[in-house]
Chain A
């Protein structure tokens, strides 16, 4: 920019004077640039068929997530063999543990030893007689007892996994809330399927 001698404006206010300097060139450039960018941005996001919404991104993330995470298992059945298989798989139990931490630990305690909800680490159960009952209790809740229903909140796979994780806590016999309900038979042992025929 060529040197330009600064000129004071004639007026003054309570002895405050002002220069007649032009607005800086870079200032103009960025200001006009931001206006141009804004026009283009708005035109694209609210006028172009190629634009997408946060809801579109969410749906895509959800689809990609299920494809990635549950690719190997598909939709899990809420039956005993499936739950036993999941309980034997450390990776799936980590997944179940995360769901448990997010949703169940508040009432059943971080380790499952019970707070306002029952202790899950002993052999006594209130509404569970067999393994699959855990899934039913998670899904439908036991409303009079304060157990919420998770059917609307968690997907089938998540409920199977968190029920399996809760089942896996049995036998740790942690000190916490006193055991409630009746002693029920131990969970069946997991028998891995025979290797596929060659």
Chain B
């Protein structure tokens, strides 16, 4: 194909033919804000240490469930105080701390460090407002601290990676869009570089999409200062949550990191980027296609099949758009491979991009329904996300940081040798983690579905499938420890480099001409002979030079990105809300009683959904183990849905009536007294903590607002009804020979909720005309 370029002006109303010169104004001198980059970089390392420490705690809790109380007692706490402190440090409370710290504190701050450094240089402009930069910095750190305090205390919206309660959610929206987004876009508008480089496209997509995802997934009705209920229920909530969840992976953990790669890889390798055309095609295909992929987290669930299929297919189609980024990254290293052998920066960047490639192959594979049927709810998925988070995000940051540190502190990196050690520790730890979790996941998945010769489940006792993979949990903890040690080496290198910093850390001064009126873009005009008009148009379109024009129109570019993600979201979400037949109702399914609602709040606050699913898939082995598969109509009053994504413990959707209430109480108090080998934390404090009955009417009001049909009479009588039911459950426990005096305990409410789970479907439908 010809590559003739012509300087013919674009026909455009808003970009009139440039009047004279080269579109350049007078030369200007300005300074980049490097301090904000140093700040973000330092907290990234700090929060990285915290996130990985929390990760170590939860990893060890799975092999030593009584680790925390034992440690507390070793520290000199009495049995009772150890039990009191333990309630804030259970797996269900700390796992969200780990995930939120890793995603929003570690990757978030690392992204901001890279974005602030590169955006200024790519725009040849200082950030628009130093004040906004600092508000962004401190606002984000305040959000992280708020998360670190509220999550262990059990304040959670109960949706994975979106746990933070509504006041913090509001703060996130303000800091993200109002401080970071505004500052970024104003910098774009005040740039001195005519066209936007591909890294900036990815930053635009990040800021726009994360805003939309965060706002729509977090919509909730508050019932208390730190308690709210999703406006969506059941299947719809699940769909919105995984639209959010998967695109948090896409637009928080991938697009900004790709942007960083596009800046720092060619910088560090001192080589040109492999293909500008590939950048364009893979950018737009990622932006459009990623949005649809969320339902692959919900295969074989009560989600309608069409949504599930779309999720799978768009995930498959994403394979090549993702690999476009990998190709552009790795191929940029051509001519620099000998330096990869010696330079820790390039080593980390290479491993990062390689892991990006492996994760974006593994992802589409896991999204295939048949593969997902085996992998879902297992540790394979845990391995997969750590391949992405540690292999791709963290390693890329490490490469970027070791490149940035000498430049930001104007001195040599304190120890290249230590960086080298960090590289090998991290890489070996990462592989150990990844492979052990794949092994554990596949093993457990196969055990769940295995039948013996008599036709019965080969491993009917769930806990057998847990103790079997305990050795893999140990190996994972070892891999995680290695990665954590590497993180500490990185922190040491940062601190020591900082201590040896130059006396002069004043901002980097740069000079560039201001932008004058736009000059016409050089657009390819097809010179194909003997073809029809359509052929010439195709030729022109596929040469992609038209995209140059978009690159100098930041607002229009942003609008196109917004249209792409909004239309994809609308197509994939709206039918679920508009078409009633997607969620057939079941007449015998009725709203929770006041006490069960209170119990559900405890279930959510304790983070039970981190280990227990409430979604039985229509798979034979699964219905054998847990009972009838879950129907969409069973979740219409579940605000939020609690389907879970991992079975560290068994599914609970049909647990109602499966055990006596007495058993449930004893099991909560000390799971290992009844189930040998169980790794569930002890919840003895629930037996001694008083339930706040008076909070129930506010909960019911909120539920009513989101559409649960409670009437005023029911709300007015809620406290009395809850006390009555609590008395009945407590009497049942006592009659079966269990504990006495539990009437107003949290444990009774939780048991009432558990005993209700999944039972409505086998009840007779209410009589015609009966009060609903």
Among B118, B272, B732, the residue within 8 A (CB) of A8 is: B272
Q: Encode A33-52 as 1/0 by CB contact (under 8 A) with B.
A: 01101100110011000000
For the complex formed, measure the closest distance between the CB of A139 and the CB atoms of chain B, giving whole angstroms. 13
The verdict on A34 contacting B320 (CB below 8 Å), with A46-B306, A144-B735, A145-B736 known, is yes
The verdict on A54 contacting B619 (CB below 8 Å), with A27-B327, A69-B454 known, is yes
Q: What's the Cα separation between A16 and B197 when bound, in Å? A: 9
B554 at the interface (CB under 8 A from A): no
Q: What's the Cα separation between A22 and B676 when bound, in Å? A: 61
Q: Which residues from B are CB-within-8-Å of A147? A: 660
Q: Encode B657-673 as 1/0 by CB contact (under 8 A) with A.
A: 11111110010000000
Q: Is the CB of A58 within 8 A of B658?
A: no
B313 at the interface (CB under 8 A from A): yes
B24 at the interface (CB under 8 A from A): no
Q: Which of A22, A55, A92, A116 has the most CB of B within 10 A?
A: A116
Q: Is the CB of A148 within 8 A of B657?
A: yes
Q: What's the Cα separation between A11 and B456 when bound, in Å? A: 68
The verdict on A23 contacting B309 (CB below 8 Å), with A38-B316, A105-B461, A149-B657 known, is no
Q: Is the CB of A102 within 8 A of B319?
A: no
B273 at the interface (CB under 8 A from A): yes
Q: Is the CB of B666 within 8 A of A31?
A: no
Q: Is the CB of A20 within 8 A of B3?
A: yes
Q: What's the Cα separation between A68 and B454 when bound, in Å? A: 10
The verdict on A106 contacting B674 (CB below 8 Å), with A30-B319, A45-B305 known, is yes
Q: What's the Cα separation between A65 and B457 when bound, in Å? A: 12
The verdict on A95 contacting B272 (CB below 8 Å), with A13-B197, A146-B663, A148-B659 known, is no
Q: What's the Cα separation between A168 and B483 when bound, in Å? A: 53
Q: Is the CB of A115 within 8 A of B674?
A: yes
For the complex formed, measure the closest distance between the CB of B300 and the CB atoms of chain A, giving whole angstroms. 6
For the complex formed, measure the closest distance between the CB of B498 and the CB atoms of chain A, giving whole angstroms. 25
For the complex formed, measure the closest distance between the CB of B694 and the CB atoms of chain A, giving whole angstroms. 30
For residues 270 through 325 of chain B, which have their beta carbon under 8 Å from a beta carbon of chain A?
Answer: 272-279, 281, 285, 300, 305-306, 309-310, 313-314, 316-317, 319-321, 323-324
The verdict on A19 contacting B267 (CB below 8 Å), with A45-B305, A105-B461, A146-B661 known, is no
Q: Is the CB of B456 within 8 A of A95?
A: yes
Q: Is the CB of B317 within 8 A of A58?
A: no
Q: What's the Cα separation between A142 and B320 when bound, in Å? A: 59
Among A19, A42, A91, A102, the residue within 8 A (CB) of B457 is: A102
Q: Is the CB of A45 within 8 A of B309?
A: yes
B617 at the interface (CB under 8 A from A): yes
Among A14, A27, A98, the residue within 8 A (CB) of B320 is: A27
The verdict on A21 contacting B274 (CB below 8 Å), with A98-B457, A146-B661 known, is yes
Q: Which residues from B are CB-within-8-Å of A38? A: 313-314, 316-317
Q: What's the Cα separation between A41 and B312 when bound, in Å? A: 10
Q: Is the CB of B3 within 8 A of A41?
A: no
| Size of the chain B interface, CB-CB below 8 angstroms | 69
Q: Is the CB of A102 within 8 A of B461?
A: yes
Q: Encode B439-462 as 1/0 by CB contact (under 8 A) with A.
A: 000000000000010111100110
Q: Is the CB of B662 within 8 A of A116?
A: yes
| Size of the chain A interface, CB-CB below 8 angstroms | 61
Q: Which residues from B are CB-within-8-Å of A8? A: 272
B623 at the interface (CB under 8 A from A): yes
B701 at the interface (CB under 8 A from A): no
Least CB separation from B5: chain A residue: A10
A24 at the interface (CB under 8 A from B): yes
Q: What's the Cα separation between A38 and B314 when bound, in Å? A: 8
A107 at the interface (CB under 8 A from B): yes
For the complex formed, measure the closest distance between the CB of A77 and the CB atoms of chain B, giving whole angstroms. 20
Q: Which residues from A are CB-within-8-Å of B460? A: 98-99, 101-102
For the complex formed, measure the closest distance between the CB of A106 and the CB atoms of chain B, giving whole angstroms. 6
Q: Is the CB of A98 within 8 A of B659?
A: no
Least CB separation from B281: chain A residue: A23
The verdict on A58 contacting B736 (CB below 8 Å), with A21-B277, A27-B323 known, is no
Q: Is the CB of A116 within 8 A of B275?
A: no
Q: Which residues from B are CB-within-8-Å of A13? A: 122, 193, 195, 197
Q: What's the Cα separation between A128 and B124 when bound, in Å? A: 86
B266 at the interface (CB under 8 A from A): yes
A94 at the interface (CB under 8 A from B): yes
Q: Is the CB of B272 within 8 A of A11?
A: no
Q: Which residues from A are CB-within-8-Å of B619? A: 54, 58
Q: Is the CB of A19 within 8 A of B320?
A: no
Q: Is the CB of B278 within 8 A of A148?
A: no
A18 at the interface (CB under 8 A from B): yes
Among A17, A34, A45, A55, the residue within 8 A (CB) of B316 is: A34
Q: What's the Cα separation between A1 and B158 when bound, in Å? A: 54
Q: What's the Cα separation between A147 and B735 when bound, in Å? A: 12
For residues 449 through 496 of chain B, which have their beta carbon under 8 Å from a beta carbon of chain A?
Answer: 452, 454-457, 460-461
Q: What's the Cα separation between A152 and B627 when bound, in Å? A: 9
The verdict on A9 contacting B276 (CB below 8 Å), with A45-B305, A148-B657 known, is yes
Q: Which residues from A are CB-within-8-Å of B197? A: 13-14, 16
Q: Which residues from B are CB-within-8-Å of A27? A: 278, 320, 323-324, 327
Q: Which residues from A are CB-within-8-Å of B320? A: 27, 30-31, 34
Least CB separation from B121: chain A residue: A14
Q: What's the Cα separation between A91 and B195 when bound, in Å? A: 76
Q: What's the Cα separation between A58 and B735 when bound, in Å? A: 40
Q: Which residues from A are CB-within-8-Å of B617? A: 54
Q: Encode A69-103 as 1/0 by CB contact (under 8 A) with B.
A: 10000000000000000000001101100110111
Q: Which residues from B are CB-within-8-Å of A7? A: 3
Q: Which residues from A are CB-within-8-Å of B137? A: none
Q: What's the Cα separation between A8 and B275 when bound, in Å? A: 9
Q: Which residues from B are CB-within-8-Å of A91? A: 454
B762 at the interface (CB under 8 A from A): yes
Q: Encode A186-197 as 1/0 by CB contact (under 8 A) with B.
A: 000000000000
B620 at the interface (CB under 8 A from A): yes
Q: Is the CB of A18 within 8 A of B456?
A: no
A130 at the interface (CB under 8 A from B): no
Among A35, A55, A153, the residue within 8 A (CB) of B618 is: A55
The verdict on A99 contacting B276 (CB below 8 Å), with A38-B313, A116-B662 known, is no
A61 at the interface (CB under 8 A from B): yes
Q: Is the CB of A94 within 8 A of B305?
A: no
Among A23, A68, A153, the residue within 8 A (CB) of B277 is: A23
Q: Which of B276, B309, B454, B675 has the most CB of A within 10 A?
A: B454
Q: Which residues from A are CB-within-8-Å of B675? A: 106
A62 at the interface (CB under 8 A from B): yes
Q: Which residues from A are CB-within-8-Å of B623? A: 58, 62
Q: Is the CB of B629 within 8 A of A116?
A: no
Among B121, B193, B272, the residue within 8 A (CB) of A17 is: B272
Q: What's the Cα separation between A107 and B273 when bound, in Å? A: 65
Q: Is the CB of B273 within 8 A of A23?
A: no
For the complex formed, measure the closest distance between the CB of A90 and the CB atoms of chain B, giving whole angstroms. 10
Among A16, A23, A54, A106, the residue within 8 A (CB) of B278 is: A23
For the complex formed, measure the closest distance between the CB of B71 and the CB atoms of chain A, giving whole angstroms. 29
14 contacts between A and B (CB under 8 A): A11-B195, A13-B195, A14-B197, A14-B267, A15-B267, A19-B276, A20-B3, A22-B277, A38-B316, A45-B305, A58-B620, A68-B455, A99-B456, A148-B659
Ordered nearest first, which 9 A-B pairs have the shortest CB separation?
Answer: A146-B660, A98-B456, A102-B460, A146-B736, A69-B455, A31-B320, A61-B620, A38-B313, A21-B275
Interface residues of A (CB under 8 A from B): 7-9, 11, 13-24, 27, 30-31, 34-35, 37-38, 41-42, 45-46, 53-55, 57-58, 61-62, 65, 68-69, 91-92, 94-95, 98-99, 101-103, 105-107, 110, 115-117, 144-149, 152-153
Beyond known contacts A53-B305, A58-B619: 5 more, CB 8 A cutoff: A8-B272, A19-B272, A65-B620, A110-B676, A145-B660
Interface residues of B (CB under 8 A from A): 3, 118, 121-122, 124, 193, 195, 197, 263, 266-267, 272-279, 281, 285, 300, 305-306, 309-310, 313-314, 316-317, 319-321, 323-324, 327, 452, 454-457, 460-461, 617-620, 623, 625, 627, 629, 654, 657-663, 666, 674-676, 732, 735-738, 762
